[in-house]
Amino acid sequence: MLPDAADECLGADGSPREPYQRLFTTLAEGEHARLRDIQHAASGWFADRGVTFGAPAPVDGGAPIFPFDPVPRIIGAAEWRQLERGLAQRAVALDHFVADCYGAQRALRNGVVPASLVYSSTGYLRDVVGAAPPRSTWCHVSGIDVVRVGGEFMVLEDNVRVPSGIAYALTSRAAMQDIVPEWLSGAGVRAITDYPSRLLDILQRIAPRPWVADIAVLTPGSFNAAYYEHGLLADGLGATLVEGRDLWVHDDEVYRREADGGYQHVDVIYSRVNSEWIDPLVFRADSMLGAPGVIEAWRRGNVALANAPGTGVADDKAIYPYVPEMIRYYLGEQPLLGNVPTYDLTDPVQRRHVVAGIDRIVFKPVDASGGYGIHFGRLMSSSEREEMVARVVADPRAWLAQEEVRLSRAVCLGEKGGFEARCVDLRPFVLLDEQPWIVPGGLTRVAGSPEMLVVNSSQGGGSKDTWVLNH
Amino acid sequence: MGSEPLTFAINHRTTLRYSGPVTASYNEVRMHPRHRGGQRVLTFTLASQPAAVPRSRVDFYGNVVHRIDVAAPHDLLELTTQSVVSTGQPRRRRLERWDPGALQRDPNVEFALPSPRVPLGDSTATLLSEWAGDDRSFDALVELARRIPTEFTYTSGVTTVDSSIDDLLDAGAGVCQDFAHLFCALARGAGWPARYVSGYLGPKPEETEVVGESHAWAEVCGQDGRWVGLDPTHGVLIGGSHVRLAVGRDYGDVAPHRGLYFGEAGGAPPEVSVRVTRMSLQEAAAAHRLGPMERQQQQQQ
């Protein structure tokens, strides 16, 4: 069976691991009672600022407050440095891969990544082939989900389309800073507040007119789960929050409609709309979230898009098993972060292996996110297993098979005030220009209950503040 | 064994009538004949009403795409192309099947995969084994193309531009678009890269002009990377009367017009009229007789 889950906070003898010692001493000295207060205060703080997850409920008008656990997740300086190098390496390789898919396709011709997986990916956009984005960067922002298995971090999933979650990390930190500033200063926690200004630097550098760049944050709209984040980032960037219907393309230039009826030229769009939806003239004709002509304006270099359109080919789950090979191929380096062992079901040999060891396998649909549609082989009856195998054989491209891993657990404040351990993961955010930069921390997501094995905010989980220590 | 190169004058008009005024429309047009594979475009013009300045690009499949934006209110958009095309010598060679490993590493593997309008489902797999047994040779493909028009009736109005292959199989009748999709599904099911071709069919030998609609057929690719056209509407390899317009995985990649508009008006199916006239040697020579600047213009895509 699976080995026991690693513990983020406690060592084998039950004493706190080194990065947690100071916090746990503080809690033992009586501050422990403040955790409930912090949680209440933070919830109020979030409610005041409209930090929600999920679409506003149409009836009572209130969206659920993002559940916040007051016990921070702490990563020591040395461990972070190692993780950071692995994340930077991976983000750079993914960026090379996207550029290659839309350029010379070296990796496909050399058999590093099967060409048929790329050509059958819904994220591969043929209208993007041959485009040359400014500074040759495609994946300006990526969120690479990692989990700790045994003692080691491993990558669970790459998100290079429109990764969300940074606003929750920024807001959680602001709340902690507001409520228990002495905890942060005492522990020596690295600041994350410069994320918006780092992102702004990148957006200005890719702009066709960098010195006067007009930047717009394109949101799908207020019914999107991450709408709060779009507004917060627009504020932080000094950008305008727009929807597709606010944009107008004329002679391959993009404009936004202003409140006074005028038009302002747009130089950079930080798009939180998936690229397949951004231009109904070339992609999905039924999209009401984009504006016709945006893609041609981008191809001509009249507007910069971040992320560049078409990056979805790199976060297709069926491509994920090949990322370690990509790192070796493009960078000539050994991968510093491993993958969770994963099988390409379109390969008959790997498929047989999966069927033979089905009780250790987790099946994920390649085109779903948010933890939906996941099936654990261990939990299936024999008829359910047969059905699963039949589905996989009928459409192997639609599924990904991963070995089931035990996510590490971290101490959380329970419903009744005591402590309990819940599964956690981590989504660090990588910004890519010439050099990658990684926000020290990221979003630690917590499972919705001590029993849950899947960590996802769409499924009732919550978050913690993530501390990376100076020393 | 190729047929004679022929020269055609083509007039292709598409009319979009909106039920009321629209404030602006954005259009992508794939109506420029291909200037590749032996076929030559001698002259080409594209005009729109209301007038707009078209801008062009070449898409992923090497098709010329014109963009036409109309920013003023209008209730009708008319697009007219006029071209003179020499079809060259269509290849009619026997092709070698791909080694599956080699195909996996070749960009043409794309055309052996399912695509939005050519899903490789059970219905076409069953049909393939019924018609071809285990034979996956080029001759078997030619036989499939010959058989399609004997098993299905060519009837307009039974299917629409959005119909699926299964609609054709259920109805037992369809048009060239359906036949080309079906052929692509059978050929891909047999492991061959097969692509969809939109184009025109010139007049019969005893006539000089044909008025009607555009045509569609398919091409398959052999291990040497060369494409050969098969017309599953007429059950033949393509000849000098087939004028190639655009190629892609299926109709979705080559639709002659794709557009959207702003306004309250409803749209209507485009009205299309195509006139293809075979040109005499003298007329063709006159079309060739261009100054150096016109020739340079021609060479640009």
The answer as to whether A32 is a domain residue is yes
**Fold agreement (B7-88+254-294, B100-253):** no
Question: Which positions ≥6 away from A348 have C-beta within 8 Å?
Answer: none
Residues A387-414: tens digit of each pLDDT: 999 999 988 999 999 999 989 999 998 8
Residue A333's pLDDT band, with cuts at 50, 70 and 90, is very high
- When the pLDDT of each residue in chain A is averaged and rounded to a whole number, the result is 90
Residues A13-28: tens digit of each pLDDT: 889 999 999 999 988 8
Of B28, B57, B104, the CB nearest to A281: B28
State residue A460's pLDDT score: 67
In this structure, which CATH number among 2.60.40.2250, 3.90.1750.10, 2.60.120.380, 3.90.1150.10 belongs to the domain B7-88+254-294? 2.60.40.2250
The answer as to whether A423 is a domain residue is yes
pLDDT at A239 over 60: yes
ipTM over 0.90: no
- What integer is the mean pLDDT of A236-262? 95
DSSP code, position B107: G
Determine, for residues B109 and A115 on separate chains, whether the beta-carbon distance falls below 8 Å: yes
State residue B301's pLDDT score: 59
In this structure, which CATH number among 3.40.50.20, 3.10.620.30, 3.40.605.10, 1.10.540.10 belongs to the domain B100-253? 3.10.620.30
Q: What residues does each domain of chain B span?
A: 7-88+254-294, 100-253
Mutate to test the interface with B, among A286, A296, A344, A393 (most CBs of B within 10 A): A296
Residue type, A230: H
Query: Counting beta carbons within 10 angstroms of the beta carbon of residue A131, is it exposed (0 to 12), middle (13 to 18) or buried (19 or more)?
Result: buried
Residues A184-232: tens digit of each pLDDT: 999 999 999 999 999 999 999 999 987 789 999 999 998 888 898 999 9
CB pairs under 8 A between A and B: 55
State residue B228's pLDDT score: 94
Tell me how far apart the alpha carbons of residues B283 and B9 are, in angstroms, rounded to a whole number.
10
State residue B294's pLDDT score: 62
State residue B1's pLDDT score: 37
- Strand-pair partners of B115: B118
Number of domains in chain A: 1
pLDDT at A416 over 70: yes
- What integer is the mean pLDDT of A253-268? 95
State residue A414's pLDDT score: 84
Determine, for residues A126 and B114 on separate chains, whether the beta-carbon distance falls below 8 Å: no
Chain B neighbors of A251, CB-CB under 8 A = 69
User: 3-state SS string over chain A?
Assistant: CCCCCCECCECCCCCECHHHHHHHHHHHCCHHHHHHHHHHHHHHHHHHHCCECCCCCCCCCCCCECCEEEEEEEECHHHHHHHHHHHHHHHHHHHHHHHHHCCCCHHHHCCCCCHHHHHCCCCCCHHHCCCCCHHHCCCCEEEEEEEEECCEEEEEEEECCCCCCHHHHHHHHHHHHHHCHHHHHHHCECCCCCHHHHHHHHHHHCCCCHHHCCEEEECCCCCCCCHHHHHHHHHHHCCEEECHHHEEEECCEEEEECCCCCEEECCEEEECCCHHHCCCCCCCCCCCCCCCCHHHHHHCCCCEEECCCCHHHHCCCCCHHHHHHHHHHHHCCCCCCEECCEEECCCHHHHHHHHHCHHHEEEEECCCCCCCCCEEHHHCCHHHHHHHHHHHHHCHHHEEEEECCCCCEEEEECCCCCEEEEEEEEECEEEECCCEEECCCCEEEECCCCCCCCCCHHHCCEEEEEEEECC
State residue B92's pLDDT score: 73
Residue A101 sits in which domain range? Answer: 18-190+312-340+405-468
Chain B neighbors of A250, CB-CB under 8 A = 69, 71
Can you list the residues of chain B whose pLDDT is less than 50? 1-2
Instruction: Retrieve residue A90's tokens.
Output: 């991976």
What pairing do the DSSP bridges indicate for beta strands A399-403 and A361-365?
Answer: antiparallel
Determine, for residues B104 and A116 on separate chains, whether the beta-carbon distance falls below 8 Å: yes
State residue A168's pLDDT score: 87
State residue A173's pLDDT score: 92
pLDDT at A62 over 60: no
Chain A: residue whose CA lies nearest to B111: A119
Percent of chain A with pLDDT over 70: 94
pLDDT at A145 over 90: yes
Interface of B with A (CB under 8 A): 26, 28, 55, 57, 59-61, 67, 69, 71, 104-107, 109-110, 112-114, 253, 258-260
